[in-house]
Amino acid sequence: MKKLTLIRHAKSSWDDQSLADIDRPLKKRGVRDAREMSRHLQEQEVFPDLILSSPAKRAFQTASIFLETFEGKDIDVQRNNGLYFEGAKEMISIIRNIKDAYSSVFLFSHMPDIAGLFSDLSGNFTYEYPTCAVGHLVFEVDEWQQVGIGKGKSQFFLYPKMMPWHSSSR
């Protein structure tokens, strides 16, 4: 069995309009949301063996916060340019090339690609994938190469505004 958790980066800042899109950091709210969502996954004992992240600052910052929460776990981390607005098809190719030694992978990316990927893999169309949303899929396969369209079973889909700790006044 292979487990894939698809995470959209947390809320990013638009304060500095001179920054290139790839260089935009997280807002304070994004940092808080990433900490809380990662803590929730830790409480549910959902951990990765591998973290794959878009090279964008906001995505890698989100991934880093999750990694900090899972301190003490043996987790490999890789940035992959194909996770930065290259489309769901490219992302599936990346997933199919993951080493089979990894059984649980967290993938951090962006809209609309992350929603498209979740839709394709689960067979359940979603056009909304809020910031710091977490979609967890399970595949009844032994090899990542076998992951494909409609083969994932959605175990949960959560985002900060659904959580009891969230306050819209932040």
Cα distance between residue 3 and residue 127, in whole Å: 22
What is the structure's pLDDT at 164? 87
What is the structure's pLDDT at 12? 96
Q: What is the largest CA-CA distance in the chain?
A: 46
Q: What confidence tens digit (pLDDT) does each residue in 8-64 have?
A: 999 999 999 999 999 999 999 999 999 999 999 999 999 999 999 999 999 999 999
Q: Which of 92, 161, 95, 170 is nearest to 131 (CA)?
A: 161
pTM: 0.95
Which pair of structure tokens corresponds to residue 32? Answer: 């808080």
CATH architecture, domain defined by 2-162: 3-Layer(aba) Sandwich (3.40)
Which pair of structure tokens corresponds to residue 165? Answer: 């700790």
Cα distance between residue 23 and residue 57, in whole Å: 5
Kindly list the domain boundaries of the chain, sorted by start residue.
Answer: 2-162
Beta bridge partner(s), residue 139: 2, 152
